[in-house]
Structure 1
Amino acid sequence: MSDPESSPQIGQFVLITKGREAGKYAIVVKILDDRFVLIADGEKRKFHSPKKKNIHHLEFFDCVSPEVQNSILETGRVTNGKLRYAISRFVNEQVTDLRKGDN
């Protein structure tokens, strides 16, 4: 799932692997440079105060939320509710896929 050669995209789902919030899911809301991104989850990390993270401390998924990506690219912002909804939907799909793989 994680490909170090590909660059992160706005709206891409990530799993935080290092730090206090390890094990939580978030979405990339801004790319600062080739090493750092800003992430938000709509709950603890709101869109107006995202967390700056090193890309080596994140696991990137191939999935991008089109609603979040379009909102940020068109208006420059996204609602926290949309972030929460996209993450909850993504996590539910991921958990379902993982459970199917265990059987």
Structure 2
Amino acid sequence: MHTERSCGDVVKCFRGRDEGYFAVMRTDGKFCYLADGARRKTEAPKKKNVKHVEYVGRLPQEVAARIANGGKVGNARLKRLLGEYQ
């Protein structure tokens, strides 16, 4: 199982109370920080073990690049983009 995640990946959480679809905002070893724009805002992402998430897709290139470079992505925009995976 490939567990490495990168900024801009779309993942599905299958463990814990935060089940659902999220975007990876940043990574730190065996943890990734997730936001969905609704329950988890981009300003306060959820720390989650990469073993408890499953890769689903990737955000559009310009959004993924903005996240990777430390830029801001609006919560409404992130919520709309993740809605395509629901």
TM-score by length of 1: 0.74
Name the CA distance, whole Å, in 1 between partners of 2:63 and 2:80. 10
Structure 2 residue corresponding to 1:76, chosen from 68, 71, 75: 71
Q: Which residue of 2 aligns with 1:98?
A: none
2:20 matched to 1:43? no
Name the CA distance, whole Å, in 2 between partners of 1:56 and 1:14. 11
> Highest relative contact order (Cα 8 Å, sep 6+), 1 or 2?
2
Structure 1 residue corresponding to 2:24, chosen from 19, 24, 28: 28
Higher helix share: 1
Q: After TM superposition, which residue ranges in structure 1, 4 or more long, deviate above 6 angstroms?
A: none
Q: CA RMSD in A?
A: 1.6
Name the CA distance, whole Å, in 2 between partners of 1:16 and 1:54. 10
Greater displacement, 7-16 / 39-48: 7-16
Name the CA distance, whole Å, in 1 between partners of 2:35 and 2:76. 11
Residues 6 and 44 (structure 1), Cα distance of their counterparts in 2 relative to 1, 3 Å cut? closer
Aligned residues: 85
Bigger radius of gyration: 1
Higher strand share: 2
* Aligned counterparts, 1:55-74, within 5 A: 55-61=50-56, 63-66=57-60, 67-74=62-69
Greater displacement, 45-54 / 11-20: 11-20
TM-score by length of 2: 0.86
SS where residue 90 of structure 1 aligns? coil
